[in-house]
Homo-oligomer: A and B are copies of this chain.
Amino acid sequence: MDANKKKQAGKSGACNLLPLSRYEGTLAVRTYLSLKDAILSLAYEPGEILRKREICDVLGVSRSPVSEAIAKLSAEGLVDVVPKAGTFVSRFSMDEIREGAFLREALELAAVEQVANIITGEQVAMLRQNLKQQEEMIAAQDFAGFYDKDAELHDLIMSFTGFRRIGQMAQSSWVQVNRARHFNLPTPGRIQETIEEHKKIVDAIAARDPEKARKVTRDHLRQLIKYLEPLETKRPDLFEAPSTK
């Protein structure tokens, strides 16, 4: 009868942490990846507190690697550290989502513009191969697979710039948008539109037309944010309290 000490067992995100054996690298890196997956998959809900002690127990590590992991998450904006009080999974903020979309657009437009000027035939083939796979995924009703291929297409294009950090930078800009996207119900017909847009992008790049590539890429990227805007009113609980003065 000592269970009444706690009002509710209320599974605290931490119990959904994936074991570190699924990752590789130092304990700190693996802890970071595990926590990040948990936050992005929303096992930890926005606003929820991260209990270091609990995390240590669940993952079987000491506080050092956990602290290092939290520091990284904080730098990425996935958690908010309140000094001497606690660490909380950051809530959504439409301002941040818009900024993330803006930054991603800036990077990706620069990338397609550059790539359209320097792409090789072999690389074009890789892009077309990816498009084909996207259609196969849809035909097989494998939507998760489709999203993977979608992400892969964007990554491919950015990697063709020859720069390595740009993809990771776009990724981290995009993190908030991606997290929010999980809450959006799939709009019927949107997937087919998406494929059409992807084709236009690849065509413009293959035609070595940087201006056209910029335009169609911009049109494509701006679709998502449009679909995301209504989320703020539909799920206000996920968002930061509007500054209550």
Hey, which bits of chain A sit against chain B, CB under 8 A?
26, 67-68, 71-72, 75, 77, 83, 98-99, 102-103, 105-107, 109-111, 114, 161, 163-166, 169, 173
Contact = CB atoms under 8 A, between A and B. Distances in A.
Contacts of A26: 83
A229 to B, nearest CB: 16
A75 B163 CA distance: 17
A165 B101 CA distance: 12
Contacts of A169: 103, 169, 173
A161 B109 contact: no
Contact of A164 (B99, B109, B165, B173): B99
Contact of A71 (B68, B164, B173): B68
A20 B107 CA distance: 36
Contacts of A105: 110
